[in-house]
Structures are given as C-alpha cells and as structure tokens.
Structure 1
C-alpha cells in the first residue's frame, strides 16, 4: 500500500495519533453542517435551531452562534426530507438548578454539556446514551408528548432507543462509561486509518475522513454491506458514480471498504449489462419505473418524458467503473477480486454501445439527464436524447482502462485488449467530430442540432489523452479565461459568459470537486502535470476556505452554495485523494501568490 505517512509536509508527524486526528475533526462538528452520528447508524443529532443557522452558511458576514442548549434528533432515510424524519423535536439536558446546560464540546464520540457535567454518546447504532448524575433529561417528540428523566447515583444515565418507525423508547442505564468507551474506541479505530497529509491540509483531511466514516450505512436490500452514502442528509443510498469517487478517496486508508463500494455499485447489473443509477435500502433505481411516486408525479407535471409509464427510460450513471477500479488497485493489488469485477464492467461498457446508442451513429447518448449525473445542466434544456462530449470521453477512457486491465489480469473477464483499443479509437474519432474550432469548444448535440451551452462537459475529452495539440491548447486557454472559467474559485460547471450561468444552481455554475478532479486527471493525461497540480491546489484550497466538503460551491465567493448539502461524500473522498497526491515527496506546495485570494 502506498504510504505517505512518513513523507508529508512539515509538522505532519504531530498528527499520527488517532485521538489527535479525531480532535481535529471535532473542530468541524458544529451540529449544523455536521451532525453527531455513528458509522452504520441512521440516527442524526443536530442543534434544535439547525434550520435557521443552516440558512446562513455561506454568508460572509455570518457570526458564530451561541452554544446550543437544545438538540434535535432525526433518522436518515432514502428519498425523505430531513424535516420529515424527526424523532425528537427538542432534547434538553438541565443541571441541578433546572437551567439548560449548553453544549460546550463536540467530538466524534461525545457531546459534552456544561463543561462535562453531562454527556451524550451512542450505545449502539440506534441508541443514544445521556449521562450526568444530578442532571435531568427531557425530550419532546413531534406529537407534542414530553418526557423527563432525573439522572441519579443509582441510575446515572438514560438510553434512548430510536426505532425504524421513528419511535423512542427509554430505559435507565447504570454503566454509561461503557458506552462512552466503546464509541470512542470505534472512532479511534477509524481515525487510525486516516491518511496523513501535508500539515496545512491535515485538519480538513481529518474532517473529511470523519465524513466518510459518518456516512457509512447498512442497506437492508444487500444484507450487511457497508455503503458509504453521499450524505446522511438527503442522499441515503449508493449512487453509482458517487461510489466510484468515494472509493478513490477511501483507498488511501481503507482499501477493503473502497472495494466494497465498487462491489455494491456492480451488484445488480441488468440482463443486458446496464448498471443501476442507485442501490438503496428498498432495492435499486435502474429505470424511470423505479422512481419514487412523488418524483414521477413532479416530472409528469413538468411534462418530462421520463414520467411516461408506457416508455420507461433506463437510468444509470457515467461509465467510470474501470477508472475507479484501476485507482483502487494502484494502492493495494487484489488480482482475484479484480477479475471478479471485470466482466460486470465490460458488460456495462458494451451496454452503452448496444443499448444507449439511440440514433445508431456509433456514439452513445444520454437518454435522460439523470444518467449523466449533471441533472440540471443546460445541455439538457432541449430535446432528448443528448450526445454529450463527456460521455464520449468516459467511454474512450473506459475502453483504454479495460484494455490495460485485461493485459494485467487476463482476457477471460475483461475482454480482448485490441478490441477495446479499436473501439476507443473509433469513439475518439466521433468525439473529435464534436469539436467546433470556430468557437474552440466541444459542443453537445440534441435531436441532430448543436447545443450552444458552454458547459464543463466540454473539458472531459482531455481524459482521453488523445486530443490534437491545438484542441488541448484551446481548452487550456478556456480554463484560464477570466471571462469564462478562470474565476477566483474554479472550475465553474458553466462558463460565466454563458447566459445560463448561475453561481448557486447545481450544475449551472457552481464548482464541484468531482468535475475538478476529472479535469485534473485530464490535464495529466494530456501532458500538463503542472497545470493539473495547480488546479489540485486550488481545489483543496476551496474546500478549506468554505469550511468543509460541501456538495458544491459558489465560484464567486468560494463558499458553500445555499442549496448544497454538507458533509458530502465524494467531496470528502476526493479532497483526501488530492491531498495525498499533493503530499507526495516530489510535490511542494504552490507559492501563496498563485492561490486565489479573496
């Protein structure tokens, strides 16, 4: 396994102690952006005033709130809003004088009240334990019922059992220290795997490692497999390409868990080889027939073709499986495991050409925006299907990776390397046909017409490593152009000069860590490692500046976009991956003057 623990930037040795790393992560556990939770648990503890405070995240003038005196408990459920998953509306711990004790410290394993007069920890994935002799605990559930328990020398703690139906059952506990020790041990074991990186990046890396551990859930549809979900706040499932990006970060500290994410993503291929969009607690999302009823109704009202029950549309995610597999195997080789996955990846690649080349021209299309991962990108504002340059690039990359993997692990599962390379060459030729030299852009097509949107999908052909030099030069110039993509915090998902640009709206302008990472990979593949390093530095600087691995970022302010969720899985994982790469012995930090300055 590659180990940068002894070769990080100055001062990194101070962070070898897992307890120290847990403490660094704890600085970010504000119970607003980051809840108190436990690996495998569906229970989340926030400040009771989280909703009000969350609205201020990203505001430059926001001030630190007063310490919390009341908490709120939620469950984490697939396709349900957090507010619909309330278990306890208000939980208050009071001192002997009856005054509410403030939260004074949060660590991964404990919430402390009143300087340690009382504590809250986990007593198992679905059980909270609150201790503090002389204190009292009271909680109010959504129907208004209130319960109060006094903590005495005979019964110094109370356990709250949270049911899958959001019920709460309580019992006295005489051994609260056991719960505290067990929960601390669980987190210490997790932080013992945390990658050690450059000292200026270590605190954020520790928090990102906490995010990955906190986002572990069990999915009943697949037994006891550990899925690292995008977020316990709204994204409780294993999305296919999230699994790929998350595995790329996990590989540096827990390669077994990284492999497990890929196994989950590969576990339910269709008979034709198509991989599902999502694996979740109730099954899979592989076509429009699998959408939750509320989603179908909303899409039907909007006139979307995907809502037609007579014409279901396949739903998947971009073909980056072989890329992710190769990344995971770089850190810890697992030949037998690799061979077991390769047939699924090869069949998925074949499905794109056989099942998603909807106009029969040799270049597959996205049948619906969901399959692109860029749901609301302006390239999908017109008719469907859409021929997009990012998909062509991913397919070239995947065939090239499959060829390399076949040569390494055998052709029985991965297929003939020459056939993969031949198909990659044909796809690249079609992809180059989407280049428009007059505008210096790769442009998507829909219903036979060119889509004029200047979007980030046009940079993904860099991943092929096979573009003519004038094309590479034009793309690099676009990345540096302050009127288009060279903003203070880059790379926006739509050019700032495009009429559809919005600094706050998902895939219509904000910066995403995953698309930045793919452009970094593309710059390396296209012979520009220094530009790749520059963008990697800017990307980790963005996450640090914004205070955490949010879902997406405002490219103007460098802060969390208002509607983005927090503690986001792939942002955390890819921050770690970039930080590890930037901490290699041959890589020095960029001079400060090259980094964006507010």
Structure 2
C-alpha cells in the first residue's frame, strides 16, 4: 500500500512525529517536512524541511512513495534515492544512495542548536516544546548555526557521503529532557523490517471487510495505527488522535467510535480509548471537549453517547468484567447527572445543548434560531445511557439504584415524546421559548436508536424519511441536511456532507428499528465511497469527494465496523 503525503502523513504507532508534504504558507516554503504533533491543533508543528542534495549541494527533485513502514524519495537519476523509517516512538532513521540530504529548521523564540558531542547536534526547540538530536551514523555532517544574541538565527544540517562512498545514514531523535545515546544501532533492514512486522500484525488484527474493499481496509488500519500517541502529559492512556494532519487531539465522542473498532481484537486498547476522558472528569461530572498531551478544552463538550457505546462494546466482547464495570459506573453516573443538573435551565426535564459544538453537529440547522437548544438526539443518548447504568447497577448488586435509573429512563422517554414529536416528525427547539428550529437536519432522526421503545408509527415515519432518496439518502449515504433544504451546502460541514458518526449511529438505528436491509444498503454505499475517496473528515453527499482533513481515525474506524458488521 502506498499513500499520498499531501493527504496522509507518514508516521507510526506511539509517536508524536509525522512527515507530510506541506503547501507554501506564510514564511513556510512548499516541501516535505518532519513534524511534531505535540501541543494540539493550535500548533502545526513543522520542524525540519527535508531536501535531497547532489554532490555540489544543489537540490534534487524527487517523488515520495510512502508505505506504512517506509518512506522512499525517488529521483529521476537511478539509483539516486533516500529512505526514511520511524524505527521507534522517538527515532527517525534516514539513509541515502547517490546523494546527500539537508534538514532545515526555521527558528523562532529561543530555538538553538549546538554540538552535543562528536557527530551529535542538539536542536532545542522552544517552539515545539521538545528537543531533537541529529546523529550522524555514516557520512559527513556539516552544520550552519549562526548565533543571534539569544538564539540560532537558522539551523541547517547537511548530511553527505564521505569521499569515495555514495551513501549516508543518520538519525533524528526527539526527546524532552535528557538524551540517552543509543548503545548500538540495528542494521537498516532489520530495523525497517521490525516496523513492517508491527504494522502487519495490526492490520491482521483489524476487522475484516469484503475483499473488494481491501485497499480501504489497509488505509483505515494504517491511519488508526499511525495516529496512536503515547500516554504523556494530560494523556493518561495511549490515545488515538483523530488525525496527525490538523485535528491533532481526541474529542469526547470521537474516541467512542475508535474504541468500538478495537473492542473485538484489541480490547485493552479499546478500554483505554473509552475511559481516557473519564480519567480527566471534572468533579461536577463534566468531561472535557477534547484532550491533547498539553491541555484540555472545557469551553464546550460533546454528547453523551458513552452509554450507547458501552452497551455496544459489552455485546461484542467478554473482556469487560465486573472490575471494568466498577471502574466506569461512578464516572458514567456523574456524566449523566451533569446533564440533568447543569443543562436544564428551564426546568422542564429535557436537557439542552448550549452550543452546536456540544452536540458534535457544530453548525447543524437545529441551531438556526439561536441557543440553548433542546434536541431529541440528546434525550435519546441520555435514555440509552440511563438504561446501561440500570443494567450495570443490577450486575453490581445495587438494586435500589438500578430501579431508580429505570424509572428515570422511562420518565425521560415519556417526556421526550411529548416534547419533540410534533406534526408527524421530531423537532428541535429553543430552551425556554420552545421556538421550533428551522431546517431539515438528519440530527432529528437519531431517536431511531431507541428502536422498539418508540411507538410503531414513529418508527415507520423515521424509516420512511431515511429511505427517501430525494431527501437524505444519496448514492453515498445519508446527507446531514436534506438535499432539498434551502440550507443544504455541499461543503457545509454539518449542513449537507456525509459524516462517519452520523452514519454509524443511524445504521445502528435502522437495525434497531428492524430494517436490516436499509442498514446494509447504507453501509454498502458509505464503505464504497470511503474505499474510493479515502478516510476524510466528511464527504460531499452527492459526489462522494473527501472534504477537510483527509486522514481521520473515526472515519477509518466506522469504515471497519460497518464493513465488518453489515456487509460481510
């Protein structure tokens, strides 16, 4: 498998490092960059520009060929090339044939470089909050690091072959505090082969899909494998970032879909993905909107899909034991109660979203008339979460608590139907005034997750809407805003494009309602689109073109889940 570095970064499991082709922007020139994704998506993190050099020090054009374990830079002058391999979480190995290689670091703040020891130069990057050691293994290293009062004004490292040879080997190691020299370096073939074996093992453990989508499966497996970062800083467990392009965080509903894709074959890692936000839970019960290694964001949050997720996972693994249920029960209780206590300002028993971001559907037309908004999807998630809490309480012998949760679930379902089912459809409305929102959003079909808990006439109406090929159902799946709506926009984020989470939720909803044929048909359309267009953040509903960030883990995870669950 090869992939385009303009779209999918070259990286590996357990590292904050990545290599990408980047366009010209500001002072940055177009080219191939070694990056770090530390610090979240408020930093882009380009560290070193990578260039091939001829024997006169002139740039040699190349074409990048990236695979999961090896990045090869081929030139028109065979056998002149370079290879790059990320051999562990902190090390990038380089070797060249018939050429040299230059790394250029654009400095700012107090960035500097100095010779640490013979053949080893430390680059201390205040900008990236880490350090890099440039380690010459074979060949010559020439550094250009002019000093400018408090920093190096530029840092240029040129690695070139020794006289009479035609190759170079060197490494770049990332570290934060103290660098420990490597006692010995494995031969290149051995080091690269170990990475290839590691990815192959991950691929083999990934969910199977029909043969026609094997290219998509390999890409999805690579993206999920390569987006894992270590448990450092605010990250209490190994974490699967949404991407190593721009969305270099984990959000508090995205992580659920990644956990679901892992639970059958990698349940320990799946549990880590599911629990990581509860590790950072506020005493009020709130969990943060997103986390990265450096900080958490508390300005908004995401919907409580965690009970639904946990129930789904429990049905598919024997890994989740009593100890896991005891670990999650208290945090899930607090998260559920938070919505009823802190997000029901008009006291009608129907919790609200204070902003579109809180729903995950940031700019959905459900929020057209202003905020806060009461929406039936939120009530649905809470009902499902309450039911799971009732089940867990029963399994833990908490009989009274189990009964109390069941009563709350029944009451919430009754209130939800009275509150939102109007004129043969579900509506969203302003909290307090209950002014009905404009638009025709797919968000209002999420209650189908309740399946047979809903009256038959409501289920039938929801299914008819989801089957309507002139409204939501396109050749590629469900648009997030009806294609007939005046608010529909092809690249309108949640006002038209197809998304993985909405697809996953509603496929499961169609199945819960008893329409397995619809669930399979939409899964087939969606997976076919992804196999063709890649694992983008979202997709043009009519053309299937990938939009925004195009190497997204939750898209990859949903592809694997639906391809395995509904099309095999």
Q: TM-score range by the shorter chain?
A: 0.7 to 0.9
Cα 1:118–1:282, aligned 2, differ >3 Å: closer, same or farther?
closer
1:342: how far off?
1.8
**8 Å CA contact 1:463, 1:521 repeated in 2:** yes
Counterpart position of 1:312: none
In structure 2, which of residues 71, 74, 79 is the aligned counterpart of residue 111 of structure 1?
Answer: 71
Matched, 1:567 2:528: no
Higher helix share: 1
Secondary structure of residue in 1 paired with 2:88: coil
Query: 3-state SS of the aligned residue for 1:120?
Result: strand
Structure 1 residue 575: Cα displacement: 0.9
User: Where does the alignment leave 5 or more consecutive residues of structure 1 unmatched?
Assistant: 1-25, 53-68, 289-314, 585-598
Quick one: distance in 1 between partners of 2:479 and 2:313? 28
* 1:76 aligns to 2:63 (yes or no): no
* Distance change >3 Å, CA 363–CA 70, structure 1 → 2: closer
Corresponding residue for residue 504 of structure 2? 517
Assess, with a 3 A threshold, how the Cα gap between structure 1 residues 96 and 253 changes in structure 2: closer, same or farther: farther
Distance, in Å, in 1 between the alignment partners of 2:540 and 2:431 is: 29
| Pair 1:180 & 2:192 matched | yes
Partner of 1:589: none
Choose 1 or 2 for highest CA Rg. 2
Partner deviation per Cα, 1:422-450 (whole Å, 9 max, x = no partner) = 21221112221244553634333344111
1:323-334 equivalence runs, <5 A:
323-333=308-318, 334=320
1:148 equivalent in alignment to 2:194: no
Range with greater deviation from structure 2 (549-558 or 460-469): 460-469
Cα distance in 1 for residues equivalent to 2:304 and 2:325:
17
Match of 1:595 in 2: none
1:128 aligns with 2:128: no
Distance 1:501 1:451 in 2: 15
The range that moved more, 123-132 or 242-251, is: 123-132
Structure 2 unpaired stretches of 5+: 108-153
Q: Distance in 2 between matches of 1:213 and 1:240?
A: 19
Match of 1:495 in 2: 482
Find the partner of 2:536 among 550, 563, 566. 550
Q: Distance in 1 between matches of 2:13 and 2:243?
A: 12
- Is the Cα–Cα contact under 8 Å of residues 249 and 575 in structure 1 kept in the other structure? no
- Is 2:260 the partner of 1:248? yes
User: Residue 156 of structure 1 contacts residue 176 of structure 1 at CA under 8 Å; is this kept in 2?
Assistant: no
**Matched residue, 1:458:** 444
- Is 1:354 the counterpart of 2:341? The answer is yes
Question: Matched residue of 1:140: which SS?
Answer: strand
Deviations 1:263-315 (A, max 9, x none): 202112222222222222223223x3xxxxxxxxxxxxxxxxxxxxxxxxxx3
* Structure 1 residues 176-215: aligned runs within 5 Å: 176-215=188-227
Q: Which one of the candidate residues 355, 363, 377 is aligned to 2:364?
A: 377
Determine whether 1:102 maps to 2:62: yes
Residue in structure 2 matched with residue 35 of structure 1 by the alignment: 9
SS at 2:205 equivalent? coil
Aligned CA distance change for structure 1 residues 178 and 360 (closer, same or farther; 3 Å): same
| 1:576/1:189 CA distance change after superposition, 3 Å | same
SS class of match (1:507): coil
Deviation of the 1:545 alpha carbon:
2.8
CA shift for structure 1 position 253: 2.9
- Give the alignment's TM-score, normalised by structure 1: 0.78
Secondary structure of 1:119's counterpart equals strand
Q: Determine whether 1:46 maps to 2:23.
A: no
Aligned-residue offset at 1:96:
9.9
- Residue 364 of structure 1 aligns to a residue in which SS? coil
Alpha-carbon shift at residue 373 of structure 1 (Å): 1.1
Matches within 5 A, 1:124-523: 124-143=88-107, 145-152=155-162, 156-162=168-174, 175-222=187-234, 225-286=237-298, 288=299, 315-333=300-318, 334-335=320-321, 336-407=323-394, 409-412=395-398, 416-438=401-423, 440-448=425-433, 449-465=435-451, 466-523=453-510
Specify whether residues 48 and 437 from structure 1 end up closer, same or farther in structure 2 by C-alpha distance, changes over 3 A only. closer
1:35 aligned counterpart, secondary structure: coil
**Residue 123 of structure 2 aligns with which residue?**
none
Aligned residues: 507
Partner of 1:305: none
User: Which runs of structure 2 are paired with 1:18-33 in the superposition (5 Å)?
Assistant: 26-27=1-2, 29-33=3-7
Query: What is the distance in 1 between the residues matched to 2:373 and 2:255?
Result: 24
Superposition deviation, residue 499 in structure 1: 2.1
- Structure with the higher fraction of residues in strand conformation: 2
TM-score when scaled to structure 2?
A: 0.82
Deviation at 1:554, TM superposition (A): 0.6
User: Could you tell me how far 1:199 is from its partner in structure 2?
Assistant: 0.8
Asked if the contact 2:386/2:408 (under 8 Å) is kept, the reply is: yes
Give the CA RMSD over aligned residues: 3.1
Q: Give the whole-Å Cα distance in 1 for the aligned partners of 2:92 and 2:324.
A: 38
In structure 2, relative to structure 1, the CA distance for the partners of 1:426 and 1:134 (3 Å cut) is same
Secondary structure at 1:394's aligned position in 2? helix
C-alpha distance in structure 2 between counterparts of 1:37 and 1:351, whole Å: 38
Report which stretch shifted further, 115-124 or 375-384: 115-124
User: In 2, distance between residues paired with 1:383 and 1:494?
Assistant: 18
The corresponding residue for 2:134 is: none
